[in-house]
Structure 1
Amino acid sequence: MHILTCCSRLKRLSAALILPGIVLIASLPQLQAGDFLVESSRDLRMAKARVRAAQFLAKATFGPTEQSIESLATRINQIGLKRATSEWIDQQFAAAPSLHMQTAYDLMELDGNTPTKQGAGIHHYRYQVWSHIALTGEDQLRQRVAWALSQIFVIGDTGTGANNDDDRSIGNGERTIADWMGMSDYYDMLVTGIDGTYRETLEDVTYHPSMGVWLSSINNRKADIPNNRWPDENFAREIMQLFSVGLYELQQDGRLAVDENGDLIPTYDNEQIRQLARVFTGFMYQHNTSTSFYRGRNLGRPMEMDHRYHDNNYDYTDEANAPPQKVVFGTVLPPLPAILTNQACKDEVSAALDAIDAHDSVAPFICRLLIQRLVKSNPSRGYMRRVTRVWNDNGQGVRGDWQSVVKAILTDPELYRGQVVRRLRSPLRLQVRARGTEYSRLREPINRVCALIRAIRPSSNYPGGYMMFSNNIADDFGQMPFRSPSVFNYYLPDFQPPGELITYEPSRRNPYGALFAPEFQILTAVTVNKSLNEFRKYCNNRYVDTGGMRQGSCRISFDLEPEIQLARDINNMAEILTRFDLLLCSGTLSQETKASIIAAVEAETAGNDGRFVARVETALNAVVISPDCAIEQ
């Protein structure tokens, strides 16, 4: 499969461009390069700035637009690449956050619906609102980081009751949010939590009732030895394995630590899981009046603590044999008072979270996951070291400051090293060559869909200008927000496609001595076939259609009129491809691929009365499904 071999530096690669009625085989050399023809040195400088802007925005947003590329490129030429991107990052984080719950309320009001309308699939607003914000939100960076965090601190809509339309009384005349909105509230917690630190997010995640349901920490009770009952260990295990330190200790540059015998060092064992499980006991839903531990569900407020059910270190076989204190990563938690209070229990949870946050492996573990979701699958040792240094101290003594860490990730030189950009003469041009292998990654399916829509001047026929696609897109692309099949996300960070990468040897820059390609875990024969068909439909129709809306279907239309006018002259196809290349491939569309597409366009549209339109539709489809677009450099 070409998309797999595109990640390896083979001497020859074979790519299949699948177009309507055509299967065109293109032979791609080891060093693929594309040219941007210019007339002057000034134009060349601007072309380079546009390529860098597109490359940056492809990673920091849900897809660049013509306006965003031009604006950032102009600023790059004025003050330099790092200063311009740093300024852009600061402006993005200063923008008001787009909140999913409020947007859902606004859309439901427009549609004449209510959150608790029964039997109408009202929970689908969750997915529609996510796509609207991803496609139109001004706070693109915040939303892109929240999407990354949602794939680290994972919950999914297969959780018990996650799609219920019900709300309920919590006393004093108040009612809960509808159950289905709990996941949107959780996502908003991540959106706004970017203003704080990892430690604060870890606590927010621990107390959020949607996580309590997902990993069964809600109503988790202390041990009852005579009745052979023990605290649930689910959340205790996953907060270590997936949310903080991983399975094995790491060095700050991402390499696995080893002991004096050269063996890997586990970060925790079963005893540590049991210790933490005892900490995460006594959680219950918030309620204004009820004193029952098993009060009704409330997914809109943080869980509360009930000291009666929290492990107090004494309720075991007898007090003499009870463990006097709990230990987390070698830190002995403060003893609980003899007369237990809710606050004392929460203080113990806080002390346990402090101990987790202080572990040396947190920085490299979480930073690697963030880099994978934002930039590349295989960060180098140097990249990891530079980012973890900022994690450990943002310059003001703060650890795990999200915005500082994100800025370190997105302003690091390694973000751009997937491309070699050169100035060439005769004719004067900017040449962009993709380096591949350790510098690249397969784009996430949902990001490819969003990038296509955002790139082609979209407009919506839905009242209020809402742009939405439904959760059904998961059936075609294998991915959709809120639909993770398990706490392990859509794919594992260490996933490797089957088969060897012939002639490839990892460089010394690679901390693992191996390559990983997480997104390939959901790239199957089924998802490839379905996604190619969907992209073909989008491009040939020049819209994305979503049915089943209150106000009828939502049609997101593409404005390709400027390209259609250019396509009246077949000689302008190169200029059209240059536009699509910058928006969808960050400038990496090779000359070989361009030539193959132009040949396919000429063959496909020959004798077609609507050839001007067909030329553009076919070219757009070919670019979108090309390896140069699928593999992000």
Structure 2
Amino acid sequence: MVATREPRVASVAQETAGAEADAGAALAKLGLAATGALALEACGGDSGSSGGGTPPPVLSSTQASRFLSQSAIGYSHADIASVSTSGIDAWLTAQFAMARPQKFWDFLVTNGYAASTNVNTLNGFDPMIWSQLMGGSDILRQRVGLALLDQWVVSIDGFASSWRPFVMAAYLDVLWESAFSNYRDLMEGVSTSVAMGLYLTFLGSVKANPATGSIPDENYARELMQLFTIGLYQLNMDGTLVMSGGNPVPTYTQTDVSQGARVWTGYTFANTDNTTPDRMQLPMAINAAQHETGATSFLGISIPAGTSGATARATTLDGLFNHPNVPPFVSKQLIQHLVTSNPSPAYVGRVAAVFANNGSGVRGDMKSVIRAILTDSEARDDTQVTSSSFGKLREPVTRLVQWARAFNVTSPTNLWPFGNVSSSANRIGESPGHAPSVFNWFRPGYTPPGTTIASDGRVAPEFQITNEPSMIAYINYLQSVIVNGAGEAKADYSSLTAIGSDSQALLNELNLVLAAGQISATTIAQMKTALDTISATTSAGLNNRIYAALVLVMASPEYLVLR
């Protein structure tokens, strides 16, 4: 465990250097610096609980905050009060009914990014995403949409095209719209999107040519199975592996990939007009002359000779959607993104059962699946807060967005100038829409080597992008944005200035709003001792104390691990 190293304080404007120095000094007093300080063992699972149940309609503030930390992209004290009063069920119903305030595509158009001068730039992309994550009122949809992007990965850095921000905007709109629809709709929307066609290279794939030996592109056929629907190995309904002779049973073969690739031939842009970005929003068309029309068979799916491209796609997606692996495969990954890295088989099984049948005979109903995940007894059990085998490391993007939403960060001119924050040297090591590969920033099965997690056979996905340098970079960047904001995007700390002269009250508020009350009394006492060394008798001193308190809380292991 690293307990003595003081993080380097980032160089910032002279007028704010004192504030950052105060925060850095407070951190040093507590020895919060790097990955070694994190409770690695806190990302596990247990043997499961007895089953789902209806949560109480009225919750304590800490219970409401804990629920929101699992369900919302970020939230404020007012959101905590709302959930505490209305209860989880009513809050979910209201969020499901909420119309999207703005589509990604519309943000780009409204803010002038469709001008021809932007045809070959990335202008508008990062502001578009941050405006939604930090500003949209549909905080449940934002959280689920981000989880879907972590699974159905497309990265703006991974393909060449004109109008790339618009390509991504259309794709993100598919994910965000599908968050509350049906998983089959998601599969259809992604499979016809220009973004996925470009990213996994089946846009332009043509039928085999025996004369030249060319074959269809296999990327999408493979990843559609491996990453998006059924996974590598057959699963029981509770997410455990089906075994044969002591080995897991594969779900598909290379022959299945090669045969499946024939379905994804002939795909092209809907039209040839590139003077505007409009065609990037349209579903891909199929050029019949380039589509494979021979008989195809894979995974028990049979497509007769002469079948049209659209019918072949529908048959393929229907077959995959109804594969027995889909409910546990999808359910477990959603649980991992929202609640805990190592859900019990019982938890996975309960959610998978809802995926298979929402109670009205509907398979893949996302609203029912999300409700099942968030209201399950394993998620809502308050005793999990003290369990060393439950929870997940908060991914860096959700930490940044949580700060922004807790303190009403706004961008008056819609620039949202946070930019690409994926650098692990001087930013947070992750940025939405900039994943390094189709395998995302971290894999759901990642295990940190040489840890008790590894020896216990558990996983901790977010630790794949977490190490000592990345944590120091996160803390330094956090100090900078807490004090300075990002360009014109500033936080409103008025709720904290009213109580900032009382270190205990300040920490209690931050513990509730940011950490759902999960920072221990012992740690709070240590933080208070550090904060009390910062005089709050002047406006500048009060602000410095608030800045330091925010950094202390958001750098603490008890905050970083969400239970």
Under a length normalisation based on structure 1, what TM-score does the superposition of the two structures give? 0.77
After superposition, the C-alpha distances for 1:443-484 in whole angstroms (9 at most, x for unaligned) are 010100010111124344x23xx4724333222111111101
What's the counterpart of residue 364 of structure 1?
328
Could you tell me whether the CA contact under 8 Å between 1:328 and 1:355 is conserved in 2? no
After superposition, the C-alpha distances for 1:363-390 in whole angstroms (9 at most, x for unaligned) are 1111111111111111111110110000
What's the counterpart of residue 200 of structure 2?
215
Following TM superposition, by how much is the alpha carbon of 1:114 offset from its aligned partner in structure 2, in angstroms? 4.1
Structure 2: distance between partners of 1:350 and 1:440: 38
What's the counterpart of residue 383 of structure 1?
347
SS at match of 2:486: strand
After superposition, the C-alpha distances for 1:215-257 in whole angstroms (9 at most, x for unaligned) are 1111111111121111111111110110111111111111111
Letter in 2 for 1:57: L
Structure 2: distance between partners of 1:135 and 1:61: 11
* Counterpart among 214, 220, 223 of residue 229 in structure 1: 214
What's the counterpart of residue 19 of structure 2?
none
What's the counterpart of residue 538 of structure 1?
481
* Counterpart among 536, 543, 562 of residue 613 in structure 1: 543
Structure 2: distance between partners of 1:593 and 1:387: 35
What's the counterpart of residue 527 of structure 1?
470
Gaps in structure 1 of 5+ consecutive residues = 3-13, 33-44, 76-83, 165-177, 291-295, 314-324, 422-432, 507-513, 547-553
1:573 aligns with 2:503: yes
Structure 1: distance between partners of 2:499 and 2:60: 24
Structure 2: distance between partners of 1:115 and 1:455: 34
* Alpha-carbon spacing, 1:185–1:115, altered in 2? closer, same or farther (3 Å): farther
Structure 2: distance between partners of 1:72 and 1:632: 19
- What is the percentage of aligned positions where both structures have the same residue? 28
Following TM superposition, by how much is the alpha carbon of 1:203 offset from its aligned partner in structure 2, in angstroms? 1.6
Structure 2: distance between partners of 1:205 and 1:114: 23
Instruction: Report 1:28-177 matches (<5 A).
Output: 49-75=60-86, 84-97=87-100, 98-108=102-112, 114-118=114-118, 123-162=122-161, 164=162
What's the counterpart of residue 311 of structure 2?
347
* Alpha-carbon spacing, 1:228–1:242, altered in 2? closer, same or farther (3 Å): same
* Alpha-carbon spacing, 1:201–1:627, altered in 2? closer, same or farther (3 Å): same
Structure 1: distance between partners of 2:421 and 2:164: 23
Structure 1: distance between partners of 2:67 and 2:455: 28
* Counterpart among 227, 252, 269 of residue 268 in structure 1: 252
Letter in 1 for 2:99: A
Following TM superposition, by how much is the alpha carbon of 1:518 offset from its aligned partner in structure 2, in angstroms? 0.8
Could you tell me whether the CA contact under 8 Å between 1:16 and 1:24 is conserved in 2? no
SS at match of 1:253: coil
SS at match of 2:247: coil
Structure 2: distance between partners of 1:302 and 1:538: 39
What's the counterpart of residue 330 of structure 1?
300
Structure 1: distance between partners of 2:465 and 2:187: 28
SS at match of 1:481: coil
Letter in 1 for 2:29: L
After superposition, the C-alpha distances for 1:404-441 in whole angstroms (9 at most, x for unaligned) are 11111111122233x439xxxxxxxxxxx53232x111
Letter in 2 for 1:420: T
Structure 1: distance between partners of 2:440 and 2:272: 35
Structure 1: distance between partners of 2:38 and 2:310: 60
Gaps in structure 2 of 5+ consecutive residues = 8-22, 43-55
Following TM superposition, by how much is the alpha carbon of 1:608 offset from its aligned partner in structure 2, in angstroms? 8.3
* Alpha-carbon spacing, 1:457–1:235, altered in 2? closer, same or farther (3 Å): closer
SS at match of 2:434: coil
1:436 aligns with 2:388: yes
1:279 aligns with 2:263: yes
* Alpha-carbon spacing, 1:29–1:451, altered in 2? closer, same or farther (3 Å): closer
Structure 1: distance between partners of 2:118 and 2:369: 43
Structure 1: distance between partners of 2:419 and 2:408: 23
Could you tell me whether the CA contact under 8 Å between 2:62 and 2:516 is conserved in 1? yes
* Alpha-carbon spacing, 1:15–1:47, altered in 2? closer, same or farther (3 Å): farther
Letter in 1 for 2:234: E
* Alpha-carbon spacing, 1:289–1:17, altered in 2? closer, same or farther (3 Å): closer
* Alpha-carbon spacing, 1:267–1:579, altered in 2? closer, same or farther (3 Å): same
What's the counterpart of residue 378 of structure 2?
414
SS at match of 1:227: coil
Structure 2: distance between partners of 1:618 and 1:58: 22
Under a length normalisation based on structure 2, what TM-score does the superposition of the two structures give? 0.86
What's the counterpart of residue 24 of structure 1?
29
1:470 aligns with 2:404: no
Looking at both structures, which has the greater relative contact order when contacts are Cα pairs under 8 Å and sequence separation is at least 6?
Answer: 2
Letter in 2 for 1:311: E
What's the counterpart of residue 186 of structure 1?
171
Letter in 2 for 1:124: N
* Counterpart among 460, 474, 485 of residue 436 in structure 2: 485
Q: Tell me how large the CA RMSD over aligned residues is.
A: 2.9
What's the counterpart of residue 511 of structure 1?
none
* Counterpart among 488, 492, 504 of residue 558 in structure 1: 492
Letter in 2 for 1:382: A
Structure 1: distance between partners of 2:313 and 2:383: 49
Structure 2: distance between partners of 1:243 and 1:371: 15
Higher strand proportion: 1
What's the counterpart of residue 238 of structure 2?
253
Letter in 1 for 2:363: R
Number of residue pairs the alignment of both structures matches:
523
Structure 1: distance between partners of 2:336 and 2:129: 21
* Alpha-carbon spacing, 1:157–1:459, altered in 2? closer, same or farther (3 Å): closer
Following TM superposition, by how much is the alpha carbon of 1:397 offset from its aligned partner in structure 2, in angstroms? 1.0
Following TM superposition, by how much is the alpha carbon of 1:606 offset from its aligned partner in structure 2, in angstroms? 9.1
